[in-house]
């Protein structure tokens, strides 16, 4: 990926703080990338409002707009293509990626997960459930992982990880807060490395 400004498309379901961190990095030229479209399965996602206030085209595409799963998969893919997206960034997207999108954007879809994968990943492991499981397991170290997306949950190649220490007295909320802060910088740094060609995605 050597283009001067890599065109980023986001898939989000909610708050979108990771997306916001990446947008800020683009605006500050820390990242030679341009956020060109945001898609959410959730019409009331805060991320959609934030995108619109940044003048980034933002769309709600879900089973409500497209009851047929194949049509939804195609609509998402076409929306990304229409905006000439080069790299798809999942930022708190709670839906599985469809086969068309996976094929068209093979090795060009990345995600962030709030644990040190492969620990505490897979179907059903999201949000506070991850941090609750970390504490229940008694792990002293957790963290965040950026990985390529394939056709399973949280199983694609790991592109970057950063550790966060579990502190005595932590509860899922305090841990989530510290992991999220690390996510914001890790996601930007992994994107910098992808754009600079230090991380090669087309390796499989
Ligand atoms: C983050 O914890 C991320 O790791 C996970 O979903 C959460 C999204 O948070 N995939 P936000 O919407 O980016 O604030």
Query: Where along the chain do its domains lie?
Result: 1-106, 112-197
CA end-to-end distance (rounded Å), the chain: 15
Instruction: Report the distance separating Cα 83 and Cα 105, nearest Å.
Output: 13
Instruction: Name the architecture of domain 112-197.
Output: 3-Layer(aba) Sandwich (3.40)
Instruction: Report the distance separating Cα 160 and Cα 157, nearest Å.
Output: 9
CA torsion angle for 30, 36, 42, 45 (degrees, to 10)? 40
Cα(92) to centroid(ligand 1), Å: 4
Sequence-ordered alpha helix ranges (H) in the chain: 17-27, 46-53, 69-82, 99-104, 128-137, 172-195
Fold adopted by 1-106: Rossmann fold (3.40.50)
Which residues have CB under 6 Å of ligand 1? 14-18, 91-92, 112-114, 180, 183
> Considering just the CA atoms, what is the radius of gyration of the chain in Å?
16
Cα(5) to centroid(ligand 1), Å: 24
Task: Say whether the peptide bond before residue 118 is cis (omega within 30 degrees of 0).
Answer: yes
Residue nearest to atom 8 of ligand 1 (CA): 92
Minimum-distance ligand 1 atom for the alpha carbon of 180: 2
Per-residue pLDDT, averaged over 186-193, amounts to 98
Q: How many residues does the chain have?
A: 204
Give the tens place of pLDDT for each residue, 81-135: 999 999 999 999 999 999 999 999 999 999 999 999 999 999 999 999 999 999 9
So what's the pLDDT on residue 77? 98
Q: Which phi and psi (to 5°) does residue 163 adopt?
A: -85, 150
Residues classed as catalytic = 113
What does the angle CA 184 – CA 167 – CA 155 come to, to the nearest 5 degrees? 50
So what's the pLDDT on residue 152? 86
Query: Is there a contact between 92 and 15 (Cβ–Cβ < 8 Å)?
Result: yes
Cα(12) to centroid(ligand 1), Å: 9
Q: Do domains 1-106 and 112-197 have the same CATH topology?
A: yes
Residue nearest to atom 7 of ligand 1 (CA): 92
């Amino acid at each position: 990926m050597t283009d001067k400004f890599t065109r980023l498309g986001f898939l989000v379901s909610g708050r979108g703080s990771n997306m916001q961190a990446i947008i800020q990095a683009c605006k500050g030229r820390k990242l030679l990338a341009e956020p060109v479209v945001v898609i959410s399965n959730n019409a009331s996602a805060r991320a959609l409002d934030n995108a619109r206030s940044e003048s980034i085209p933002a769309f709600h595409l879900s089973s409500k707009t497209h009851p047929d799963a194949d049509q939804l998969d195609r609509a998402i893919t076409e929306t990304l293509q229409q905006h000439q997206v080069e790299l798809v960034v999942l930022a708190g997207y709670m839906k599985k990626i469809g086969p068309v999108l996976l094929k068209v954007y093979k090795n060009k879809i990345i995600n962030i997960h709030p644990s040190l994968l492969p620990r505490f990943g897979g179907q059903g492991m999201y949000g506070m459930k991850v941090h609750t499981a970390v504490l229940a397991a008694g792990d002293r170290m957790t963290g965040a992982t950026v990985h390529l997306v394939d056709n399973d949950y949280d199983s694609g190649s790991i592109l970057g990880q950063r550790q966060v220490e579990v502190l005595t007295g932590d509860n899922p909320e305090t841990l989530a807060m510290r992991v999220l802060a690390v996510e914001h910088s890790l996601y930007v740094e992994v994107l910098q490395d992808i754009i600079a060609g230090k991380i090669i995605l087309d390796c499989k």
